[in-house]
A = this chain, B = another copy of it.
Amino acid sequence: MSTLRADFDAIAAIGRDPEGGWTRPAYGAGESEAHRWFAAAAEAAGLSVRQDAFGNSIARREGRPGTPAIAIGSHLDTVTRGGPFDGALGVLAGLEIARRVVPGPDDLALEIIAFRDEEGRFGALTGSRAMTGDLPADALSTMRDTDGTGLRSAMRDAGFPVDSPLAARRNLSELAAYLELHIEQGPVLETGGESIGIVTAIAGQKRLAVRFAGTAGHAGTTPMELRHDAFAAAAEFAVGFRDMIVKEGQGSARGTIGIVKTNPNQGNVIPSDVRIGLEIRDASAELLTLLAGRTVTIAAKTAKRHGVEVSHRLVYEAAPVPMAPRLVDLLEAQARAAGHASRRLLSGANHDAGILGAHIPAAMLFVPSRGGVSHTPEEHTDWHHIEAAVAVLEGCVRRLISAEHTI
């Protein structure tokens, strides 16, 4: 474990932000330096390393020639002023396991993959989507960061000139399974006192924009019963939405109103217009559809009660991605055998495993996030949890490369 700790410190020395935390944007200097460090460390451990056309680093130990690989991966980029664990931990855990586990002549191969742009400087999960062929056809010209820099030009500047979003697409039969260790980025494990979370699915989501349109009016001269108050309607809708998610969400669904824009937003004017941005996440596509429908019904009923207009549109949706049940069972059995407290949980956030998992068997292990926080410099996971999770993942990989466990 001391090697992993040293590796962690080495990566954590890359991309320190003068304003605090770590800033390693995709295809920027910090991310590329981290990939160079990873390649050198993997080669030093005896792995062969290559970068694909999108700059994803793939370190490999061969098994029996021609067999597919068990892949362990995550990413080395960070959000702006993020923490040191998100992404890097999963890559380094893979590297540590590759040091310990050397496939025999009859085993499957082992790959450690560091993906590019998981955090979405250019649109989220770019590297893994490039590998699976899931990038949109116009990705190179349309994906831009918030400063307007295009994906194509950033990749060219980083040494990866590409002409097609399919340039890094891989024959996925080369991979037997994909495993990822990641920080939870939520409070569930810490609250429950478990060291290990076994992800059952990457949640799907639906994002809705809901607009309540009432009538502006003088706050002093308009009696309560003659108002068409867009915020009064929006607030009642928000209460109904939350209650509905809690009641009908089967304990797993999450519903969040993150965006609220009130117009004209003046103290003495009854709001004429409120725009709400909300999202619903769950592992079940059926439940997501049901909850989104109920949301629209609640909005319509609330608007009617307040004499205001309401409209909505679906601004984004992503299907849930279930993790491979036999991998989930294996991880759980390994954790139990090692005596570590674990629980099954839903990943509310998307991960590279959510991209790979739509094509090949995939699974994820979570370790607890102190205070449930991530994407800040305060992001932290205690090392004893990490040690436990790496050991469980190692045991799992040993079973898988020797095909003792059927995927």
- Chain A residues within CB distance 8 Å of chain B: 184-188, 191, 203, 205, 207, 217-226, 229, 231-232, 234-236, 238-239, 242, 245-246, 249, 253-262, 265-271, 274, 277-279, 281, 347-350, 372-375
Contacts and interface: CB of A to CB of B under 8 A. Distances in A.
A336 B68 CA distance: 96
B223 A188 contact: yes
**Central interface residue in A217, A232, A235, by most chain B CB within 10 Å:** A235
Contact of A259 (B188, B220, B267, B373): B267
B281 A277 contact: no
Contacts of A235: 234-236, 238-239, 242, 257
B226 A191 contact: yes
Contact of A266 (B221, B255, B258, B265): B258
Given A258-B269, A265-B260, A185 B277 contact: no
B258 A270 contact: yes
A266 B348 CA distance: 16
A14 to B, nearest CB: 25
A270 B185 CA distance: 13
A80 to B, nearest CB: 14
Contact of A267 (B207, B220, B236): B207
Contacts of A375: 218
A259 B262 CA distance: 7
Given A220-B349, A348-B219, A372 B254 contact: no
Given A232-B242, A239-B236, A205 B220 contact: yes
Given A235-B239, A270-B256, A188 B220 contact: no
A292 B142 CA distance: 53
A348 B223 CA distance: 9
**Central interface residue in A191, A238, A249, A261, by most chain B CB within 10 Å:** A238
A217 B271 contact: no
Contacts of A238: 231-232, 235-236
A168 B113 CA distance: 81
B267 A279 contact: yes
A253 B279 CA distance: 36
A372 B217 contact: yes
Given A242-B232, A246-B224, A268 B279 contact: yes
